[in-house]
Amino acid sequence: MDYISKFEQLIKEQKARVKMMKEQGDFVKYDELDTIVIGVVGGDGIGPAITDQAHRVLKYLLQDEVKNNKVTFKMIDGLTIENRAKANKAIPDDVLKELKQCHVILKGPTTTPRKGDKWPNIESANVAMRKELDLFANVRPVKVPEKGIDWTFFRENTEGAYVLGSNGFNVDDDIAIDFKVITTGGAERIARAAFEFAKKNDKKRVTIVTKANVVKTTDGKFLEICKEIGKEYEGIEVDDWYIDIMTAKLVDEKRRTQFQVMILPNLYGDILTDEAAEFQGGVGTAGSSNIGKKYSMFEAIHGSAPRMVEEGRDIYADPSSIIRASGMLLNHIGYPEKAEKLYKALEICNTEKEYVITGRDTGATNEEFTNYLMKTIEKL
Ligand code: IPM
Ligand code: MG
């Protein structure tokens, strides 16, 4: 395809996406559903091992709801890199069909092929799932109470620099092009999600992070829309920062405690949330929720660590991040007390340290750790 038709095709796809956004209904109401279907997707590498443990915790906390059919689990196996490579698709059709039969999904890490490795150049399964299920708000909390850090990042999850995934193109041998897209609807909905969260949680400041001084058209639009929506929320202070200085300010101990809720376009959100999670003990400790109107997905934010599996260490992989993601899932579907219990038990286990995960046979297996966690929950 010549590049002009390719470009036309891309614009067509984006227009279709905008149309879909406009026609979308409201957020699903879980309390009105006969049964809430929770999909459990192991993913690759250490994914199945840690996801199994998170699934055990969920089954334990939701035992009554499972008994009276308010909650049903659905196991979905096919989202492995081998299957994706075979289908040459980020999410094979049969897997996508199964995902769409769920209301919420708990997902282990999935391997993202990169240039030069043995896998075909398929798009990241994460990114594809966020797009296919329209999971527009990537919410990533980071808390370090002893340092006064209590941040919640609202990363736009379906457009920005990620919008076209692996669909950029080489015009010729000299010119490679990717695109960044910001839409009115896309910016509005992430801004609204962040401000609504701020309002409900009594947060007094929302910070918009862009590079609107340089990336003027798209970031400029994002910033303007977020500011406009902010005007509807009385009592919440809105400020904006450029991503470069914001990255620096997160290490400024005096300044960083003032930030509360951040709104960011996709790529900046990806980068800044890894930096932020590092203050909390690394990306392995953070969970992440991907919220859409119809579907939502909860995941560990670390990778699939294939080397741990090669070395037979997957039984020692830390399940904390995906267990934390299960807490976010519980909260999201209407069981905040169960989520609180889980967080509290995690905190106790991390201070008592009766079983400690080290990632090697010097520490506990993830099954031992999870048993310990469930016993701790029982005592609460
Ligand atoms: C994340 C990850 C993904 C992303 C990768 C695996 C594609 O880094 O969830 O932050 O870039 O969004
Ligand atoms: Mg990331």
* Nearest ligand 1 atom, CA 110: 6
Q: Is 110 in the pocket of ligand 1 (CB under 6 A)?
A: no
Q: Is 289 in the pocket of ligand 1 (CB under 6 A)?
A: no
| Shared domain check, 368 and 241 | no
| Shared domain check, 92 and 55 | yes
**How many angstroms separate the first and last alpha carbons of the chain?**
62
Q: Is 80 in the pocket of ligand 1 (CB under 6 A)?
A: no
Whether 7 maps to a domain, the answer reads no
Q: What is the pLDDT of residue 121?
A: 85
Q: Is 124 in the pocket of ligand 1 (CB under 6 A)?
A: yes
Centre of ligand 1 to C-alpha 235, Å, is: 33
* Nearest ligand 1 atom, CA 267: 11
* Residues sharing a CB contact under 8 Å with residue 244, sequence separation 6 or more, in sequence order: 211
Helix (H, G, I), strand (E, B) or coil at 100: coil
Q: What is the pLDDT of residue 164?
A: 72
Closest-CA residue, ligand 1 atom 9, reads 301
Q: What is the DSSP string of 344-367?
A: HHHHHHHHH-SS---SSTTS--HH
| Closest-approaching ligand to the CA atom of 130 | 1
Q: List the domain range (segments joined by +) for residue 277.
A: 139-156+173-281
Name residue, tokens 């399964």. Answer: 125
| Shared domain check, 302 and 249 | no
* Nearest ligand 1 atom, CA 273: 10
Name residue, tokens 């993202």. Answer: 112
Centre of ligand 1 to C-alpha 272, Å, is: 12
| Shared domain check, 117 and 143 | no
Centre of ligand 2 to C-alpha 269, Å, is: 8
Give the C-alpha separation, 182 to 84, whole Å: 29
Centre of ligand 1 to C-alpha 352, Å, is: 32
| Shared domain check, 272 and 148 | yes
* Nearest ligand 1 atom, CA 130: 12
Best mutation site among 79, 84, 107, 112 for ligand 1 pocket (most ligand atoms within 8 Å of CB): 112
Q: What is the pLDDT of residue 165?
A: 67
| Shared domain check, 106 and 41 | yes
**Low-confidence residues of the chain: pLDDT under 70:** 1, 165-166
* Nearest ligand 1 atom, CA 274: 10
Whether 83 maps to a domain, the answer reads yes
| Shared domain check, 372 and 336 | yes
| Shared domain check, 234 and 305 | no
| Closest-approaching ligand to the CA atom of 127 | 1
**224: CATH:** 3.40.718.10
Helices (H), the chain: 3-23, 47-61, 63-67, 81-87, 93-99, 125-132, 184-200, 216-230, 243-249, 253-256, 266-279, 306-310, 320-332, 336-352, 366-379
pLDDT (tens digit per residue) in 133-164 = 999 999 999 999 899 999 999 999 999 998 87
Q: Is 112 in the pocket of ligand 1 (CB under 6 A)?
A: yes
Give the C-alpha separation, 266 to 337, whole Å: 31
Give the C-alpha separation, 55 to 61, whole Å: 10
Give the C-alpha separation, 333 to 297, whole Å: 11
| Shared domain check, 124 and 58 | yes
The residue type found at 133 is L
* Nearest ligand 1 atom, CA 299: 9
| Shared domain check, 144 and 234 | yes
Q: What is the pLDDT of residue 150?
A: 96
Whether 165 maps to a domain, the answer reads no
Q: Is 122 in the pocket of ligand 1 (CB under 6 A)?
A: no
pLDDT (tens digit per residue) in 241-281 = 999 999 999 999 999 999 999 999 999 999 999 999 999 88
Q: What is the pLDDT of residue 115?
A: 80
Give the total number of structural domains in the chain.
2
